[in-house]
Amino acid sequence: MDRELTCVECPMGCAILVTIRDGEIVSIGGNNCARGKLYAQNEVFTPKRVVTSTVKLEGGGMLPVKTDRPVDKDKIFEVMAVINSLIVAAPVKVGEVVASDVCGANIISAKEVL
């Protein structure tokens, strides 16, 4: 069984062909870089995605956030449930952890609010 994938790691969107024999990857081709290889390896067995969203700021407004690493694709809505339960108080820096260890990742701020 072979898998044809589109790498989502960057806008190039390389078409990657993964050759699988007896449940194991025997070759990966078409990727332009190492990022794409890692993506293809994950995508075949445990697809992962970075989740980006917003959380409420105390006193109004929204703070953009993201997971600091990709989480299992089937955990995305679990991550969203945590994100939507958060309220963050300013000041907050870019990269500051606003919730730790959510499905194996930290939720970090993507914006500075003074």
* Pair type for strands 52-57 and 87-88: parallel
Choice between 6 and 19, CB closer to other proteins:
6
The verdict on 90 binding other proteins (CB under 8 A) reads: no
Stretch that binds other proteins, among 6-14, 17-25, 99-107 (CB under 8 A): 6-14
* Structural tokens at position 96: 């500051």
Residue 64 interacts, among ligand SF4, other proteins, none and using kind-specific CB cut-offs from 5 to 8 Å, with: other proteins
Residue 49 interacts, among other proteins, ligand SF4, none and using kind-specific CB cut-offs from 5 to 8 Å, with: other proteins
Question: Among the residues of 10-75, which ranges form H helices?
Answer: 34-45
Residue 31 interacts, among ligand SF4, other proteins, none and using kind-specific CB cut-offs from 5 to 8 Å, with: ligand SF4
State the Cα–Cα distance between residues 49 and 43, nearest whole angstrom: 10
